[in-house]
Amino acid sequence: MCGRYSLASEAYNSFIEFMDMGYPFKVPSRFNIAPSQPVAVIRLKGSDKDQAIIPDAPLPEREGALMRWGLVPHFAKEIKNDRPLINARSETIADKPSFRGPFRRRKCLVPADGFYEWKRDGASPIPYHICLQDHAPFTFAGIWEAWTGPNGDDWLETVSLITKPANGVVKKIHHRSPVIIEPQDYDLWLRPEDPPDRKIFDKLSTDIDLKLEMYEVSPFVNNARNDGEECIKPASKDQFKLF
């Protein structure tokens, strides 16, 4: 599971510059992004219009968008906030009714510069921040969906992050980790496929998983209402443990 992550505005700016996208919109520095909040997403232009899929055709340009984290299926009669669909498993994404449509046509990239996981050891879970060793921004694999209210007067775009069995440092504390997309795989991931390529996850590079580092942070991050750099600071100088 991936239930919190971070994205500083400097990291977002670096990512947008790398993507050669100009400046789609401003994002504030956020160190404790939580479900149901608006998040920055990169998708293909026109992917919100269900255009016909042309095999091997050049991909459209990419664009930035803001979406709510927690996918709402297009067939939902109402928005339920009790258990938002924040993650989709790579093993079952092609089969689950809520995810299979977006997996065919609405894949996206979600920029981040780190994410959190909790080690369930003892009375209280211990939070860890996980990021690249050079602290550079990266992208999660995501899928998104558009929901229209029953009367046609509500419109909402929402996103889920893809997870897979954990490996590398993440496996030391949790059995799941987010799918991270390397730059050379952006087009591979974003291209619509109908029927979907069920083996796409085997084609994605996992080298980036070996470039992650992890360290314990303060329980301050446990509360989703808390934000600021305190969320990503090591718990103490003596506890700064890199794995």
pLDDT number for residue 184: 96
Query: Is the Cβ–Cβ distance between 166 and 177 less than 8 Å?
Result: yes
pTM of this prediction exceeds 0.75: yes
Q: Which residue from 60, 46, 88 is spatially nearest to 201, judged by alpha carbons?
A: 88
Contact 162, 93 (CB under 8 A): yes
Residue 242 has pLDDT above 60, yes or no: no
Among 78, 91, 117, 145, the active-site one is: 117
Q: What token pair was written down for 128?
A: 């860890």
**Looking at the predicted structure, is the pLDDT value of residue 151 above 80?**
no
pLDDT tens digits along 58-109: 889 999 999 999 999 999 888 877 778 999 999 999 999 999 999 999 999 9
> 21-38, pLDDT tens digit by residue?
888 888 999 999 999 999
Known catalytic membership, residue 117: yes
Active site residue 2: yes
Sheet of 126-132: strands edge to edge?
A: 30-33, 5-7, 114-119, 126-132, 212-216
What is the residue type of 81? N
Q: What pLDDT, on the 0 to 100 scale, is given for residue 237? A: 59
Q: What is the mean pLDDT of residues 180-190?
A: 96
d(CA 14, CA 191): 24
Beta bridge partner(s), residue 87 = 161
**Which residue out of 2, 108, 131, 231 is catalytically annotated?**
2
Residue 122: pLDDT band with limits 50, 70, 90: confident
Rounded to an integer, the average pLDDT of 4-26 is 91
Domain residue ranges in the chain = 5-113+139-167+177-205
- Is domain 5-113+139-167+177-205 annotated with CATH 1.25.40.10? no
* Beta bridge mates, 242: none
pLDDT score recorded for residue 114? 97
Quick one: pLDDT band at residue 47, thresholds 50, 70, 90?
confident
Alpha-carbon gap, residue 224 to 237, rounded angstroms: 24
